[in-house]
Structure 1
Amino acid sequence: MNRDATRPAGPAHLRPDAPGSERPPVPRPTVEELRLTSFKSYRRAVLPLAPLTVLYGPAGVGKSNALDALAVLSRLALGEEITDSLDGLPDRTGPLAVPVRGGLAGCVPHGRDAIILGCTVRSPHGRIRLDIVIRTDGPVRIARETLTLDGRTLVDTGEQDVRNHRVNVCWHNDTRQGDIRAPFPSGTMITAQLPLRVAGSSAGECLVLAAAEDLLTALREVFPLHPVPALMRDWARADPQARLRGNAANISAVIDRLSNECPRRYGQLLRVVQSAAPHPLLGLAVAERESEGVRRVLAVFDEGVLGRTGADQASDGMLRHLAFAAVLLTGAGVLDLDVAAEVPWAHRQLTVLAEDLGAGLSVEQTASLLRLARDMAERGQLRVAAALQEPAAAREALGAGDLRSGGAVVVECRRDPGSGFTVLRPEAARVPAQGGRGEGAGGGDGAAEAARSVGERSVGEPVAEGAGSAVDGDAVDLEG
């Protein structure tokens, strides 16, 4: 039995909700800000990320693009070639088995030849900032990448050797010889290469390695979830180690695994599904059949006197609700992720990207999922970024208290009529702050402060932030 797969976020003495707990929770690296300087429909935009972040707006405004940006950084953090990371590796399992939406070409804004992204990770060592420029004119390559810790530059890139696919990298070293310089392959994220290239022979190099590990750990624990009911209706091959794919096609195999491996979580999942069902639901079971020696399973809703409805007959909405609830209630061990296994699980933080959370669901059903996400986030089990078309469910599920404490950020997405770029407007800016604007004011995290500051811009202006550190040295024209 794999107890790590479905265990809570930590032992009782490490969980903030544990009664009588005197020790603080283990700090975990978490992404608290995403910078979309030049990516798909975004230009110089900043998205603050709270334990629960909800983006809303009509179809086509760019909500999914923001989730894709974080998924792209997560893929690059795995250390594969940029093209393979974004276009997918069909012969692989895990997150790279399928391309990111649109592939590499779809991530580059129209008429441009570069992707410019960045993020800020809060870690035990401080705030780590990554900014990265990927050029697509000629060989796909890292044209600029910087890594800073609390404002101190730890890693920076310099001259490029495009013909030989190399870029000069300089990293912090506090010995007499000064910072160290060496050529790195330019087809892979530089930060992902650091653990294999930096010796750690000085305090300065150890700091570089610690910051890189924290950043990579936070990014690798990102799981994009977009359930596809048409695929979820198929019988799945039974697997005691089944891991849910991003399209939830093997949901029946995962339900079968949970029922055998973790009855407590399985019972919680049943109660959540029962609360969303519009009719009495007695149970959640698994039908079995065997074909040519292969055991296959299918999730079944037990509706009592109404009979048993298999996943092959269930509504799109109920299947999507089942997939989202299963992910929120279980850990990274049952998800198709390439986790940072070398890092203790108590120091890792799962981030779920919930695409089109309310599709096929009523406002109340969607609100119940958001409340579940909020509860799981408050217990330190995961963080969630969800996309919705209408804000009603978020406003019903999240009161002013959640926004005021920094536990949630609700962000409006729309297109600027003049430029066509996506504009982000955090609603948390409309909620009065509880105390000062410094870090930790009112007991929340940095996302609340970021939401307040970016929300003060004019409504028609894209939310922007100083992302120039990754741009200035690469002559990428954002104004043309």
Structure 2
Amino acid sequence: MTVHTRVSGTQSPAGQVRPQVTELRLSAFAGHRATAVPLGPMTLITGPSGSGKSSALGAYEALARLCAGAELPDVFADPLACVPERARADLQRRRGFRIGCTVDGPAGAVRLDLAVQAEPELRVVGERLTRDGLVLLETALRDPGRRVVQAAWHTAGTAPVTRAPMPDDRLGTALVPLRVAGKTDGQRLVLAAAEQVVVALRSAFACDPRPGRMRAPVPAGPAGAGRLLGGCDNLAEVLWRTRSECAVRHGMLVAAVRSGCAGPVADVLAEEGADGAVQAFVDRGDGVRTPLGRLGDGELRFLALSLVLLTGPGVLAVDPAAEVPQAYQTLTVLADGLDRHLDVRQVRVLGELAARTCARGHIRLVGAVGDAAWATGTAGATVVDLDRDGTT
């Protein structure tokens, strides 16, 4: 694996470092063994088909969903697909996978490592939260007959650690606020580290626009309620909303579409028809409106990805930490096939838009691309090539 550029984290408007995931570890996951992916404000993962680009994004999304409180079966619908192909079962016929990450922020560099058993039944078998080598939280499967793991967290009070059972289908780090009292300095450190990891991970939006589902009119929801889905199926409804909510951002979207789509572009708009369905158009400025249904796949993906980069948690279907001010959070866009169906001009324009957006600090991008040559000299870009050194 080759990393072309590495960029450090960003700060909030108040000067406080925003919690950010700076490394994704795929210790044993799908086609990956001992793979560490450094993450900057704008990270592009490249490599040929089968090198593990999509599975890397899938691992990040899985950690994000677990941090939001999801249970293992909901996150890993096909857990055996996550087990490395050559992984051998132990004497109890158990096989599994391991993923993790590092999150930098006010609490320092915090590592989260997770081991999951995929067969004979899906369950957490081990989790570790550490900072500077100090174990803050550790769980382990002690009794396979019980649906719990034994947890121990740093206390540094009258007892060095506190022990208690936790469910084996949830991420312990996400449960820490419900279990740790915060009465000692050690417990407060555990709480701060866990919150940093949860805040950094859970605000993730996995996005892979599907042009075939974006062309038809969509039912109109309650005013202001439409949030963009990961496949951008409801793009028309969201455009109907965003055009009236923020004229500045909408103007930036129109400018991007003008640079990335064929023909003149005066506006991008959506209207509700008599049947209650919302249809979107590109206004050509001379009385001609082109329905989205007539745009090519590349134009539709370009439009949808531009909208994603120019919006935020209030528009995208994400689950941010409600108790933390947005000024201290960062939305991470996970874009599979970022350059799929795009021509050279569209890739360049979208890349420039992504670089400007990520430089502001409130949005980060992790995108899988077929060819990242265009981004090698882009300021702020981290390019990770999975087709080097046999690391996949």
TM-score normalised by length of structure 2: 0.91
Distance 1:250 1:307 in 2: 23
Contact in 2 for aligned 1:363/1:392 (Cα 8 Å): no
Contact (CA 8 Å) 2:329, 2:362: kept in 1 or not? no
Aligned residue number for residue 273 of structure 2:
289
Q: Is the 8 A contact 1:238 1:256 kept in 2?
A: no
Match of 2:220 in 1: 238
User: Does 2:333 match 1:348?
Assistant: no
Deviations 1:223-261 (A, max 9, x none): 111000011112122232211010000111111110111
Please show how residues 246-265 of structure 1 align to structure 2 within 5 Å.
246-265=230-249
2:338 corresponding residue in structure 1: 357
Alignment-mate amino acid for residue 131 of structure 1: D
1:56 counterpart residue number = 46
Q: Distance in 2 between matches of 1:205 and 1:316?
A: 52
1:300 and 1:308 in contact (8 A); partners too = yes
Q: Distance in 1 between matches of 2:269 and 2:165?
A: 56
Report the alpha carbon displacement of residue 69 of structure 1 after superposing the two structures with TM: 1.0
**Aligned partners of 2:373 and 2:42: how far apart in 1?**
16
Counterparts of 1:26 and 1:201 in 2: how far apart (Å)? Answer: 25
Please state whether the residue corresponding to 1:334 is helix, strand or coil. coil
Output the CA distance in 1 between the equivalents of 2:63 and 2:333.
14
Who is 2:364 aligned against? 383
Q: Does 1:46 align with 2:21?
A: no
Q: Secondary structure at the match of 2:166?
A: strand
Equivalent residue, structure 2, for 1:106: 81
> SS of the residue aligned with 1:139?
coil
Q: Is the 1:269–1:326 Cα contact (8 Å) retained in structure 2?
A: yes
Decide which of 278, 288, 300 is 2:262's aligned counterpart.
Answer: 278
Given that 1:139 and 1:162 are in contact with CA atoms closer than 8 Å, whether structure 2 keeps it comes out as no
The answer to which of 258-267 and 115-124 deviates more is 258-267
Alignment partners' CA distance in 2, 1:25 and 1:151: 27
Give the aligned partner of residue 86 of structure 1. Answer: 76
The counterpart of 1:319, out of the listed 288, 300, 318, is 300
Q: Corresponding residue for 2:391?
A: 462
1:129 to 90, 93, 111: 111
**TM-score of the aligned structures, taking structure 1 as reference length:** 0.75
Query: What is the one-letter code of the residue matched to 1:141?
Result: R
CA distance in 2, matches of 1:394, 1:141: 40
> CA–CA distance in 1 between the matches of 2:26 and 2:287?
50
Aligned residues: 374
Give 1:159 deviation, angstroms.
4.5
2:381 maps to what in 1?
Answer: 408
Contact 2:375 2:381 in 1 (8 A): no
Task: State the 1:322 CA deviation.
Answer: 0.8
1: distance between equivalents of 2:47 and 2:85? Answer: 22
Q: Which runs of 5+ in 1 are unaligned?
A: 1-9, 16-23, 88-102, 415-458, 464-480
How far residue 305 of structure 1 moved from its aligned partner, in angstroms, is: 4.5
| Residues 81-124 of structure 1 deviation map (CA, whole Å, 9 limit, x = unaligned) | 2012222xxxxxxxxxxxxxxx3332222243211001000011
CA contact (8 A) 2:124 2:141 kept: no
Partners in 1 of 2:150 and 2:337 — Cα distance?
41
Return the offset for 1:290.
Answer: 2.8
In the alignment, is the contact (CA less than 8 A) between 1:167 and 1:183 conserved in 2?
yes
Letter in 1 for 2:331: L
- The residue correspondences of 1:135-154 to structure 2 (distance < 5 A) are 135-154=117-136
Identify the match of residue 352 of structure 2 among 371, 383, 389: 371
Query: Which residue of structure 2 lines up, in the alignment, with residue 472 of structure 1?
Result: none
Which residue number in structure 1 is paired with residue 159 of structure 2? 177
Shift of 1:393: 2.8
Secondary structure class of the residue paired with 1:120? strand
The reply to whether residue 73 of structure 1 matches residue 63 of structure 2 is yes
- Give the corresponding residue for 1:308: 289
For 1:91, the equivalent position in structure 2 comes to none
Structure 1 stretches of 4+ with a deviation exceeding 3 A read none
Superposed CA deviations along residues 423-457 of structure 1, whole A, max 9, x for unmatched, are xxxxxxxxxxxxxxxxxxxxxxxxxxxxxxxxxxx
Identify the residue that residue 5 of structure 2 maps to in structure 1: none
Alpha-carbon distance, 1:14 to partner: 5.4
Deviation string 1:317-342 (CA, Å, 9 cap, x unpaired) is 11101111001011111111121111
Q: Deviations over 1:119-169 (max 9, x none)?
A: 000011100000110012233111111001222110112352222211111
Q: CA deviation at 1:73?
A: 0.8
The answer to whether the 8 Å contact 2:154/2:190 transfers is yes
Mapped to 1, the partners of 2:76 and 2:318 lie a distance apart of 15
Residue deviations 1:371-415 (CA, integer Å, cap 9, x gap): 1111111111211011111223324xx34xx2xxxx22111122x
* Alpha-carbon separation, structure 2, partners of 1:25 and 1:296: 45
1:147 aligned counterpart, secondary structure: strand
Aligned AA (2:151): V
Quick one: distance in 1 between partners of 2:364 and 2:237? 25
Q: d(CA) in 1 for partners of 2:150 and 2:232? A: 42
Identity %: 39
